Chain A
Amino acid sequence: MAKNFTRRAVLASAPGLYLASKGARRAYAQEKTVKVGVIQPMSGNLSPYSQEGQPALEYLVKKINAEGGIKSMGGAKIQLVIADDASQPARTASEARRLITQDDVSMIVGTLLSAQMLAISPVVDEYKVPTLAMWAGGARASYLYSLGFPYDRGYAKTMADFAGALGNYDHKINTAVIACSNYEAGQQVTKYLRTMLPERGIKVVAEVPLDTQAQDHTASMLRIRSLKPDAVIGLMQPREGILLMQARYGMNYHDSIFIGNSPYSDQVIWRELGPDIGKAVLTRNLFGMASYSEGAKIASMQELAAELRSKGNLKSEVGQATIQAAQTARIMQQALELAGSTEREAINQALKKVNIPFGDPNLYLARAEGLAFGDDRMPKDSTSMMVQWNADRKLEVVWPDLYAQTKPRV
């Protein structure tokens, strides 16, 4: 069977080779599509990211194609080739190999949290395929770029700064427990929080790593309750956030402030906990990092959200992953425009030059300095907003002052 495939492949590529020999210009004229591989966790622990983000990605690609495709490539349309990695890093690597070697994609995008990013890095560097991760906190491969928050200046610094700032609202944080999901990103963020929190006058009384395989975090919550810290700070995956809040509800524990990342600020947690539990635990003492909030005063973000709600064929509410995916689509578009060809190396160089300044209608995230990749292939400006929930299941931005709608409810 494999033999037939290669024979067919050789026959099929013959006309292509012939045309390629006719000169570069002509070849571009034949290039009507740009193939982009998309790796999403359609099942498993990380499926919320794909459920929210994929429709947005597809909608924006459709929109870009409808508006003329990639103009510098003669109107080439973006063709997405989708693969499921089931939230397992091993699959991420093998799907990447398949997309690269069999589907011959020019670049890869995907949810790609830190473990997936690590797994895909050797593949990406071996085949030199530019890759854009939406959420990884680091970028270990020289061909990999991430739109996520870096562990130190993105996640840890934001959470630590916010915890420190709560003193300005008459709620000084003196003690904290670091509770992160027990995986690469969690361990990295824990490391940075260990030093950043004391620098802001907050004593770390304990570290409670949350097992990503556990079905219940009552034990962790019991330990937290016994310590009664002023704040519980940490980075988590959606599952741990939901389970921790469930445990918190079960113990009726409201003596600490919970500060975390997107699982705390995404509609998924309301859906999973249900309206009663959600009302009890999510609307008090809970703050999450957010790129998106319904009330945030960023015109481009709100317009996009409105457009997605009405025409985007969304399977769930607009959330953090939705906006992240949409922004990825725009970065992809700009990179392809700058590259002007489907050559992987050209796209790689183009990604280094991507720049979406503040005020640009294609900038959906809250970045005062615009969006561009630094030398570490992470966004140079990694600021984030902190949000809280009100009883109507709507987010309100509470920090930093530039974007705040209201004061934190403590």
Chain B
Amino acid sequence: MRSGAFRFLGNPVFWLVLAAAATMPLWLSPYYLGVATIALFYVGLALSWNIVAGIAGQLSLGHSVFMGIGGLLSSALLLKLGINMWLGMAIAAAISAVLGAFIAWLDFRFRLSHLSFALITLAFAEMGQLAAVGSEFLGGASGLFLPADHGSLLDFEFGGQRGYFYLLFTASMVCLVANLVILNTPLGYYLRAMRDNENAAQAIGVALLRNKIIAMMISAVLTSIMGTAYARYSGFVDPYQFASPNVSVEVVLFATIGGLGTVLGPLVGAGFLVVFGEIVRGQFGGTLPGLHFFIDGVLIIVVILLMPRGVVPTFVEWWDRRHAAAPKDPGMIAEVPTKT
């Protein structure tokens, strides 16, 4: 791993932000803590998606399947077979990994274009929702109602809002670390090479199939874990929410606005937009339903027209131009091509 990658560990701003985030339950009101918890969930999702889409260039719109498996399967295993939810989470993650590998294999075997891959994964997402709704074991159309949370950590219970915050905080930090690690190991370079020009990458010896599978598997596992965590947080697992293709669309939006391929991009994108959306909904939801989505739409258009690479890369470029001196260290940023 590149030593420069962890240079930011010496940056005091980083530690300040991390400390502030980690101690949120102490200084945020319960309402905003709830908002932060949900934001962390989307941050985790965006970061996991970033691994296949931003770094590896595979635009998967089917991640809702992994989230559905993570949420529904682990809950069903607990409720119907009495399997401990930690174990259930692992099982769901494993199944998601296998499914992810299959999808990656499809991409490789059939030499799918970006668009075809996106549409096929979207079709899988729709089928996934139908399968979830149609499966008695997974709760059918009614969904699954998890047992009350008594705080027993061994049973995957976290005792209330604070506990849930830490659960989702940890899970999303895992996704963040995964992104950082990948970007600074050879895997990251292979993936970015594949993303930028698949044929050229293959020509210089990058193992396409293996890398595609690895990236998708990691992403699937992380998404699945986020799904299980969120299932526990919400207490009621609704297939129309957990396996819904709409979640994929939202995640894509957040990650793209933030800056696909970077690490901070999805984090900032998801973090800011989710919080903003909740606040707008809180203020105006009663009188103007749908306002925050409307604003989201406007924001996307504005960002794409003015900052097509995303907010974070554009900002970093601007910042770097102001402080021209040292060469950029791609520790946190990875370039996204400007042409197709």
Q: Do chains A and B touch in the complex (CB under 8 A)?
A: yes
Interface residues in chain A, defined as those with a beta carbon under 8 Å from any beta carbon in chain B: 2-3, 5-6, 9, 42-43, 82-84, 86, 88-90, 93-95, 97-98, 101-102, 114-115, 118-119, 121-123, 125-126, 140, 182-184, 186-188, 209, 212
B residues within 8 A CB of A115? 142-143, 238
Q: Which single member of B38, B145, B161, B290 contacts A140 (CB below 8 Å)?
A: B145
The segment from B42-50, B105-113, B278-286 that touches chain A is B278-286
Q: A6-B27, A118-B236, A119-B238 are in contact. List 5 more A-B contacts (CB 8 A).
A: A95-B285, A97-B34, A101-B30, A102-B31, A119-B236
Q: A94 CA to B241 CA in the complex, in Å?
A: 13
A residues within 8 A CB of B278? 94
A residues within 8 A CB of B31? 97-98, 101-102
Give the shortest distance, in Å, between B218 (CB) and chain A (any CB).
27
Give the shortest distance, in Å, between B267 (CB) and chain A (any CB).
17
From B140, which residue of chain A is reached at the shortest CB distance?
Answer: A187
B160 within 8 A of A: yes
Q: A251 CA to B94 CA in the complex, in Å?
A: 49
A residues within 8 A CB of B236? 89, 93, 118-119, 121-122
Query: Contact between A182 and B133 (Cβ–Cβ < 8 Å)?
Result: yes
Query: Contact between B141 and A183 (Cβ–Cβ < 8 Å)?
Result: yes
B residues within 8 A CB of A118? 142-143, 145, 236, 238
Given the contacts A43-B290, A182-B133, A94 and B235 also touching, CB distance less than 8 Å? no
B149 within 8 A of A: yes
Most buried by B among A88, A101, A125: A101
Query: Contact between B234 and A119 (Cβ–Cβ < 8 Å)?
Result: yes
A residues within 8 A CB of B38? 94
B residues within 8 A CB of A209? 141
14 contacts between A and B (CB under 8 A): A5-B32, A89-B238, A90-B238, A93-B236, A97-B31, A98-B34, A102-B29, A102-B31, A119-B236, A122-B146, A182-B140, A184-B141, A184-B143, A187-B141
A residues within 8 A CB of B145? 118, 121, 140
B residues within 8 A CB of A184? 141-143
A residues within 8 A CB of B148? 122, 125
B residues within 8 A CB of A140? 145
Given the contacts A94-B278, A187-B141, A122 and B32 also touching, CB distance less than 8 Å? no
From A10, which residue of chain B is reached at the shortest CB distance?
Answer: B29
**Which residues of B from 145 to 197 have beta carbons under 8 Å from A?**
145-146, 148-149, 160-161
Listed from nearest, the 5 A-B pairs whose CB atoms lie closest are A122-B235, A184-B142, A102-B31, A101-B30, A101-B31
Q: Which single member of A84, A95, A121, A212 contacts B235 (CB below 8 Å)?
A: A121
Query: Contact between A5 and B289 (Cβ–Cβ < 8 Å)?
Result: no
Query: Contact between A126 and B29 (Cβ–Cβ < 8 Å)?
Result: no
Give the shortest distance, in Å, between A141 (CB) and chain B (any CB).
9
B28 within 8 A of A: yes
Give the shortest distance, in Å, between A125 (CB) and chain B (any CB).
6
Interface residues in chain B, defined as those with a beta carbon under 8 Å from any beta carbon in chain A: 27-32, 34, 38, 133, 140-143, 145-146, 148-149, 160-161, 234-236, 238, 240-241, 278, 282, 285-286, 289-290
Give the shortest distance, in Å, between A387 (CB) and chain B (any CB).
28
Query: Contact between A122 and B141 (Cβ–Cβ < 8 Å)?
Result: no
Q: A209 CA to B134 CA in the complex, in Å?
A: 10
Query: Contact between B146 and A212 (Cβ–Cβ < 8 Å)?
Result: no
Give the shortest distance, in Å, between A95 (CB) and chain B (any CB).
7
Give the shortest distance, in Å, between B44 (CB) and chain A (any CB).
17
Q: Which single member of B235, B238, B289 contacts A123 (CB below 8 Å)?
A: B235
A residues within 8 A CB of B143? 89, 115, 118, 184
B residues within 8 A CB of A3? 27
A residues within 8 A CB of B32? 2, 5-6
B residues within 8 A CB of A95? 285
Query: Contact between B149 and A90 (Cβ–Cβ < 8 Å)?
Result: no
Q: A361 CA to B278 CA in the complex, in Å?
A: 42
B residues within 8 A CB of A102? 29-31, 282
A residues within 8 A CB of B142? 114-115, 118, 183-184, 187-188
Q: A84 CA to B31 CA in the complex, in Å?
A: 17
From A186, which residue of chain B is reached at the shortest CB distance?
Answer: B141
A residues within 8 A CB of B290? 43, 86
Query: Contact between A126 and B161 (Cβ–Cβ < 8 Å)?
Result: yes
Q: Which single member of B161, B234, B282, B289 contacts A90 (CB below 8 Å)?
A: B234
Given the contacts A90-B241, A93-B236, A126 and B160 also touching, CB distance less than 8 Å? yes
Query: Contact between B234 and A83 (Cβ–Cβ < 8 Å)?
Result: no
Q: A90 CA to B38 CA in the complex, in Å?
A: 11
Given the contacts A118-B236, A187-B141, A6 and B28 also touching, CB distance less than 8 Å? yes
A residues within 8 A CB of B141? 182-184, 186-187, 209, 212
Give the shortest distance, in Å, between B173 (CB) and chain A (any CB).
20
Query: Contact between B285 and A84 (Cβ–Cβ < 8 Å)?
Result: yes
Q: A111 CA to B245 CA in the complex, in Å?
A: 26
Most buried by B among A3, A43, A90, A93: A90
Q: A140 CA to B34 CA in the complex, in Å?
A: 23
